[in-house]
Amino acid sequence: MKVNQIGALRRDHFPVFERKTYLNSCSQGALASEVRAAYELYLDQLEEFGSLWETWVGIQEDVRDQLAQVFTTQPDQVAITTSASAAVNAIASCFDFRKGPRKVLTTSLEFPTIGHIWHAQERNGAEVVHIAADPDNRLPAERIAAAIDGNTAIVSVTHGCYRNGAVNDIKAIVKAAHDQGVPVLIDAYQTSGAVPIDFEELGADFMVGGVLKYMLSSPGVGFALVNNQTVSEFVPTTTGWFAARDIHSMEIDKFDPAKDARRFEAGTPTVPSLYAAQAGLKLLLEVGVENAWAVSSQLHEQLRAGVSELGGICATPDGPGEHGAMLAVVSTDERALVNAMAQDDVVVSGRDGNVRVSPHFYNNSDDIEAALASMSKNRILLATS
């Protein structure tokens, strides 16, 4: 089923489509003209005025408000960080594993950042346990729930897996953890801006991500959403002057962190990236995440049907709530297939033996047809059922 009549919202804002079939938003969102202009504005202002701290801080607060809108939460529950890794490190620094519960429950579906940071905490007494997903990449929430006990300090799970697009049942995981008084951290990097997420409805204690993928921006801006009602007593020891209650006080003789989510921030923000984030998020909010998801969902159906016709295998679980915006097609040689498709001007990426195809609101049916035509041309590199 073609969806040209629905797809390609604001496509003319993304010059890459004049040259390429871009289906790699799970790695980096397509560059919008507005985002390029935002970087130029930053440089023009820097050249004309020099330091513009009030302007820069104002842009950061605008980005905070925009993120709150995307996730249907309040700005005081949004911390602006330089990356998701910085956000998770700040959260991890809240725990004293030698004094309290020691176990960190995570999964086999995580991005390396999650594993690296929690395993680094083993020096501080943490015990990291990875819950394995099934061969079809599904991970029943009941399996995670069964592993939670009185020694569990935190449950840290991905919303959408970066390797195969599988999505976890976050609400069920949160309920199981909260029933035992255990906080939950969600890594939503692969779903933010692509799948509608209501942070209040989700009920998680922390959620981290960044703006460079489906949120249309660039590296340098991440975020942590912090549930003020459930984790107000969590105070990070990884910190900086932007995390102070009053950043203008310039005090050096005490630690006085902000009471809201800003306490999870650190040093001077990546100002040029804030300009880009502001522009990208503005465009995303104008389109609407729900509209973006409606477009990509129909393109997923077209892609799955086409892969099936080729005799290929989609590694991403199917069904409502089972997957995010990226679908993974199993290959015999992911690098070779990604490179072969690039020769046909189709931009995708590979992980874990799969070729990742990730449409967004700016894609249309013709893009999916181009990807399928390239896969057909290189069918020898497709794994078959």
The confidence score (pLDDT) of residue 2 equals 45
Parallel, antiparallel, or unpaired for β 222-226 and 103-107? unpaired
Domains detected in the chain = 11-31+288-381 (3.90.1150.10), 36-284 (3.40.640.10)
Place of tokens 């005025």: 49
- Which residues of the chain are under the pLDDT cut of 70? 1-7
Question: What secondary structure does DSSP assign to 184-220, as a single string?
Answer: EEEE-TTTTTTS---HHHH--SEEEEESSSTT---TT
106-129 pLDDT per residue, tens: 999 999 999 999 999 999 999 999
CA-closest candidate to residue 204, choices 168, 253, 240 = 168
Task: Tell me the C-alpha distance between 362 and 150, whole Å.
Answer: 47
pTM of the model: 0.95
Report which secondary-structure segment, H or E, holds 158: strand 152-158
The confidence score (pLDDT) of residue 251 equals 87
CA-closest candidate to residue 112, choices 224, 14, 187, 210 = 187
